[in-house]
Structure 1
């Protein structure tokens, strides 16, 4: 990449971030349905066509913050060392994110993070868009598992495991977020969040046994 190309790319990234930050600020102030794309473009000082080049839909202005991370689990699977267990790698990653109070785990009590999570659940179209993001994350993870697993029936095994992993992480994050919204701090919730994560990944390793 030459210098001029690098400068153009950095300018595009700054413009994209500025548009998204403006949109989220307006959504938090007036509600998702109370702000139009024209409002956002005017506040960000860009044209509507420019805005849509960066964000094809109004929902993408919010959900892209998650969508930008949708291949992280797949990248971990592909990058794990020889003999490393998929579940161990993803379990350790989730535990490390809990320790770091990563918003993706639901274990963050920062006011801006809580407000953003509330925004995500405030409109049916945003909830639906998040569902599409999770589906793409699951598809990317399934592809990585299919490429790297040494097992019988790798295609269906990869799809089943990817679905279970994405659902597990989503369920853990939701439980953590609900506890914090109920008034507990991230530090208070952390031990329970760790125990839940260990239990969840244990179920994936060993299977569910009734009784």
Structure 2
């Protein structure tokens, strides 16, 4: 049964990717507002009801590229070694992304990646939907930080636990970390968008990331 379950899940994920990539291709060709859900369903060779079983909203067709990154920061915190502070693990992960020119860091000058970023940041409904993804990333990271910080390291009255809830300290920390990552990525994208190459912009991007995480470290002592 586990083999059958795994096969069904792989087929489901392939369908997600197929529909999403078909939609993104149409959005890039014609513009987000000029493409209907019916257009996407026809191009992906699925019915509209089938499409809506996979994607609740038109915006999600484009933002599916971020779906597996919603809990990426949380995974970094949970997968770190026991001796590595959460904030250092996140800094290291972001710097590794810059080294790989991961599109999530904004430091990527591939023409298709740049076109997707223009589509994303140039479409108000996509920007609005993106903030829902960011909110879920914050929630996931807050839970991971709450698990990671020793209770004695958190000021009294703001403990990460408390009746199963995530405390204000972890939530504030997660919000600041996710905001820093977002701002760094947007700044990197703006540099590349205005003509810099990814390699040429990398030294400044690394310096900015180091500066940002140094600023975080000075304020988020339970996680530093």
- The verdict on a shared fold, with TM-score over 0.5 as the criterion, is yes
Q: Is the 8 A contact 1:80 1:89 kept in 2?
A: yes
> 1:19 maps to which residue?
19
Give the distance between the partners of 1:70 and 1:16, measured in 2 at CA.
16
Does residue 220 of structure 2 align to residue 190 of structure 1? no
Q: Is the 8 A contact 1:32 1:122 kept in 2?
A: no
Shift of 1:72: 1.1
Deviation string 1:54-108 (CA, Å, 9 cap, x unpaired) is 1110000011211221111111112222231111100000000000000000000
Give the distance between the partners of 2:74 and 2:54, measured in 1 at CA.
24
> 1:141 maps to which residue?
141
How large is the Cα RMSD of the aligned pairs?
1.2
> 2:175 maps to which residue?
163
Trace 1:1-211 onto structure 2 (pairs within 5 A).
Answer: 1-150=1-150, 151-152=153-154, 153-154=158-159, 155-207=167-219
What count of residue pairs does the alignment treat as equivalent? Answer: 207
Shift of 1:19: 0.7
Query: Helix, strand or coil for the counterpart of 1:7?
Result: helix
- 4+ residue stretches of structure 1 with deviation over 4 A? none
Deviation string 1:92-127 (CA, Å, 9 cap, x unpaired) is 000000000000000000001001111111221100
Deviation string 1:188-209 (CA, Å, 9 cap, x unpaired) is 00000000000000011124xx
Q: Which runs of 5+ in 2 are unaligned?
A: 160-166, 220-224
Distance 1:83 1:5, change over 3 A: closer
Give the distance between the partners of 1:165 and 1:194, measured in 2 at CA.
16
Query: Helix, strand or coil for the counterpart of 2:183?
Result: helix
Deviation string 1:11-45 (CA, Å, 9 cap, x unpaired) is 22222211111100000000000000000001111
> 2:162 maps to which residue?
none
Q: Which runs of 5+ in 1 are unaligned?
A: none
